[in-house]
Amino acid sequence: MLQHIKRMKKIIIASTSTLHGGTYLEYLTETLKEHFKNCSTLLFIPYARPGGITHDEYTQKAAEFFGKLGIEVKGIHEFENPVAAVQNAEAIFTGGGNTFLLVTQLYQNKVMEAVKTAVENGTPYLGTSAGSNICGLTMETTNDMPIIYPPSFDTLALVPFNINPHYLDPVAGSTHMGETRETRINEFHHFNPQPVLGLREGSWLEVKGNTTTLRGDLDARLFRQNTPPEEIATGTDLSWLK
Amino acid sequence: MLQHIKRMKKIIIASTSTLHGGTYLEYLTETLKEHFKNCSTLLFIPYARPGGITHDEYTQKAAEFFGKLGIEVKGIHEFENPVAAVQNAEAIFTGGGNTFLLVTQLYQNKVMEAVKTAVENGTPYLGTSAGSNICGLTMETTNDMPIIYPPSFDTLALVPFNINPHYLDPVAGSTHMGETRETRINEFHHFNPQPVLGLREGSWLEVKGNTTTLRGDLDARLFRQNTPPEEIATGTDLSWLK
């Protein structure tokens, strides 16, 4: 029975790491205590960070938060064999940054498949922003700038749809002629059939086994091909969505 | 002498096709009269448009504007041999939409190289938005969503730097935690050496032979690796920039 519980998929897919006015991961503290309650160590994947801070510094930021939860953090870049690091991890957290860079490095270091297998076999996973984007079927609904060319746009497919983190509603009265987020996602649907869930900052998906639930204070916006966008209330069971 | 004039590079790289409150290309009317003054026909490349309107309808939109200038427009999709269409074009205009889609289709239809050669040999070119993005070395500073996977991010390299169209200044007091445009371009510079010119809506670059000049009412924002961003006054000769 314990084995069964341990093997259940456990995933948090968060729109953002940080709420305006809050500290890093602060708003998720209670959720993460529960999510990682059986873990004393966590593997952090800092690949998405395009500079400004080093992988060590980024890992230290995660370590400071998880230290308060009694969880020791190591960065994947500290291991000689990153695939083995993933396979042996008690828990995995992929931080935000640039999704093109993250996906490029996951492929280059050959850990994309290893992360997928580990999480599907029950290693608890947390993603924020770019780390959440990769939980979808593809990274094709990222908001990030394509600063590097990844070998593929395919990602972890931990949920059978795509994620749009940091979802932004159109700005009322804007005179800017660039596309709104909603327009961009509609354009995605001219070429791709899968639903896209727009997660506003402060929202997250909780995957437990076969159940996927929207969490946080806000509603999410669901885009499906040939269907008007819908508002999804927090607490909604989204296990049917594909 | 006439031959020499005809062969001079003539390129307009516009941030946007349409200003808020204006009609399609309206703000560029006088500029385009001069730019295309020796042309009676123009080849329109509608590839960037991800749906909503067909290639025919998009081409019709361009035709309506250029009709007023006495220029007949045909869409590249109307030709059996798109490479020959480019080679035979008196003038070329690539409209906006999604840059990932545009670049994918330029490669799929094998016209990327043909457009580069034609424009470098003096075929007058107009780009707006995505059609301007491709004038840079790479499309890696587009704002668009990666709705389709192009075979490469390399583009026309008609100017020796990258373009960021629809450049947006940070919104003062924003509580949104997504990256600002400036942050994204700085991240680009962690991996790429070339300068990036942020063209605000209403700005364009005019390339005549070896001279590149910033036009329009607004200043542009120039980002160079390891250098603080600079404001560039309209009218500035940017021929030195690479």
Do residue A18 and residue B175 have CB atoms under 8 angstroms apart? no
β B10-14/B204-208 pair status: antiparallel
The closest alpha carbon to B238, from B13, B64, B4, belongs to B13
CB-CB contact of B71 with B29 (8 Å): no
In the numeric block, the tokens 């959440």 are attached to A132
CA distance A37 to A14: 18
Q: Does B206 touch chain A if contact means CB atoms closer than 8 Å?
A: no
Question: How far is CA A225 from each of CA A88, A104, A144, A190, A228, rounded to the nearest angstrom?
Answer: 39, 28, 22, 8, 8
Q: Above 90 in pLDDT, residue A39?
A: yes
What phi and psi values does residue A53 have, to the nearest 5 degrees? -125, 155
Do residue A176 and residue B201 have CB atoms under 8 angstroms apart? yes
What phi and psi values does residue A78 have, to the nearest 5 degrees? -80, -10
Look up the ipTM and state it. 0.92
The closest alpha carbon to A70, from A29, A93, A90, A41, belongs to A41
Interface test with A, best of B104, B107, B177 (most A CBs within 10 A): B177
Q: How far is the alpha carbon of A21 from chain B, nearest alpha carbon, in Å?
A: 8
CA distance A23 to B56: 51
Do residue B145 and residue A149 have CB atoms under 8 angstroms apart? no
Torsion angle of alpha carbons A149, A150, A152, A155, nearest 10°? -140
CA distance A197 to A183: 14
Which residue of chain A comes nearest to B154, CA vs CA? A149
CB-CB contact of B117 with B123 (8 Å): no
Q: Which long-range contacts (CB under 8 A, 24 or more apart) does B138-142 make?
A: B138/B162, B138/B192, B138/B194, B139/A146, B139/B99, B139/B100, B139/B103, B140/A145, B140/A146, B140/A147, B140/A148, B140/A149, B140/B188, B140/B192, B141/A145, B141/A147, B141/B184, B141/B185, B141/B188, B141/B196, B142/A145, B142/A146, B142/B99, B142/B100
Q: Total domain count for chain B?
A: 1
Residue A221 located in a structural domain: yes
Chain A CB contacts of B149 below 8 Å: 140, 152-153
A51-89 confidence digits (pLDDT tens): 879 999 999 999 999 999 999 999 999 999 999 999 999
Interface test with A, best of B149, B162, B175, B226 (most A CBs within 10 A): B149
CA distance A95 to B198: 28
Question: How far is CA B205 from each of CA A7, A127, B38, B117, B165, rounded to the nearest angstrom?
Answer: 58, 41, 20, 19, 11
Kindly report the CATH number assigned to the domain that includes residue B174.
3.40.50.880
Residue B239 located in a structural domain: no
Do residue B145 and residue A143 have CB atoms under 8 angstroms apart? yes
The closest alpha carbon to A213, from A12, A6, A33, belongs to A12
Residue B120 located in a structural domain: yes
B94-109 confidence digits (pLDDT tens): 999 999 999 999 999 9
pLDDT, greater one: B146 or B53 = B146
User: Chain-wide mean pLDDT for chain A?
Assistant: 94
With bands split at pLDDT 50, 70 and 90, how would you rate the model's confidence at A169? confident
CB-CB contact of B154 with B141 (8 Å): no
Residue A70 located in a structural domain: yes
The predicted pLDDT at position A6 comes to 53
CA angle A84, A106, A208 (to 5 degrees): 75
User: Chain-wide mean pLDDT for chain B?
Assistant: 94
B120-165 confidence digits (pLDDT tens): 999 999 999 999 999 999 999 999 999 999 999 999 999 999 999 9
Residue B177 located in a structural domain: yes
The predicted pLDDT at position A131 comes to 98
Q: Mapping DSSP to helix (H, G, I), strand (E, B) and coil, where does residue B66 land? A: helix
The predicted pLDDT at position B175 comes to 74
Do residue B190 and residue A51 have CB atoms under 8 angstroms apart? yes
- Candidate from B20, B101, B140 with C-beta closest to A147: B140
The two structure tokens encoding residue B182: 């400036």
CB-CB contact of B19 with B201 (8 Å): yes
Which residue of chain B comes nearest to A20, CA vs CA? B175
Share of chain A above pLDDT 70, in %: 97
Q: Above 80 in pLDDT, residue B5?
A: no
The closest alpha carbon to B47, from B148, B157, B196, belongs to B148
Q: Mapping DSSP to helix (H, G, I), strand (E, B) and coil, where does residue A115 land? A: helix
- In this prediction, residues B199-209 reach a mean pLDDT of 97
With bands split at pLDDT 50, 70 and 90, how would you rate the model's confidence at B193? very high
Domain around B149: 2-232
Residue B150 located in a structural domain: yes
The predicted pLDDT at position B161 comes to 98
Q: Mapping DSSP to helix (H, G, I), strand (E, B) and coil, where does residue B106 land? A: helix
List the beta strands (DSSP E) in B28-89: 41-45, 72-75
Write the CB contacts of A127 (distance below 8 Å, at least 6 apart in sequence): A11, A12, A13, A14, A93, A94, A133, A134, A135
Do residue B19 and residue A185 have CB atoms under 8 angstroms apart? no
Do residue A142 and residue B145 have CB atoms under 8 angstroms apart? yes
A103-142 confidence digits (pLDDT tens): 999 999 999 999 999 999 999 999 999 999 999 999 999 9
CA distance A72 to A67: 6
Residue B156 CB coordination number (10 Å): 26
Q: Is A154 a catalytic residue?
A: no
Cα torsion B18, B19, B21, B22: sign: negative
β A211-215/A162-164 pair status: unpaired
Residue B147 located in a structural domain: yes
Q: Does B101 touch chain A if contact means CB atoms closer than 8 Å?
A: yes
Do residue B147 and residue A98 have CB atoms under 8 angstroms apart? no
Interface test with A, best of B128, B187, B203 (most A CBs within 10 A): B187
Count Cα atoms within 13 angstroms, Cβ side, for A52. Answer: 14
Helix axes A112-120, A99-108, angle to 10 degrees: 90
Q: H or E stretch including B64?
A: helix B55-67
Which of the residues A77, A132, A144, A203 is marked catalytic? A144
Q: Is A166 a catalytic residue?
A: yes
The closest alpha carbon to A136, from A120, A105, A114, A160, belongs to A160
CA distance A124 to B3: 69
The predicted pLDDT at position A177 comes to 67
The two structure tokens encoding residue A35: 């999510």
Q: Does B132 touch chain A if contact means CB atoms closer than 8 Å?
A: no
Residue B237 located in a structural domain: no
Q: Does A166 touch chain B if contact means CB atoms closer than 8 Å?
A: yes
- Candidate from B152, B166, B184 with C-beta closest to A145: B184
